[in-house]
Amino acid sequence: MVMITRFEDVHAWQEARKLVKMIYQLTASGTLARDFGLRDQLQRAAVSAMANIAEGFDCDSHAEFARFLGYARRSAVEVQSLLYTALDTSCINEAQFREHYDQAQKTKALIGGFKHTLKKRT
């Protein structure tokens, strides 16, 4: 088993970072770039997923870290929901939706798995 010594070692954080990059690229042009509310909310939700993993890593207990992972997971779900809004308002196409939704799903699953592992240790 790999020893995790810093938040950058957490696989869920690495995938959340990819999600952030993808969301920022998606929101940089086209109709979505001009929809300031949706663009900003998508960006904030993606960043929140990544940031909560890092913030939780520095907690004093596994239980507290698990709580932050819960916030991070919910932020990834928020990205998924907002992607439906972007699709339904024709800001993105089906292929863009699927690519970003799948990355959010992967991030969410890794966060959930990590949280489950932490909770078993408390």
- Structural domain spans, the chain: 10-120
Name the one residue in this structure whose structure tokens are 């952030």. 20
Q: Which DSSP symbol is given to 90?
A: T
Tokens of 113: 């798995």
Fill in the amino acid letter for 73: R
End-to-end CA separation in angstroms for the chain: 19
Query: Would the CA dihedral through 59, 60, 62, 66 be positive or negative?
Result: negative
Write down the pTM of the prediction: 0.94
Per-residue pLDDT of the chain (122 residues; tens, 9 = 90+): 578 899 999 999 999 999 999 999 999 999 999 999 999 999 999 999 999 999 999 999 999 999 999 999 999 999 999 999 999 999 999 999 999 999 999 999 999 999 998 887 76
CATH 1.20.1440.60, domain 10-120, yes or no = yes
Name the one residue in this structure whose structure tokens are 């699953």. 109
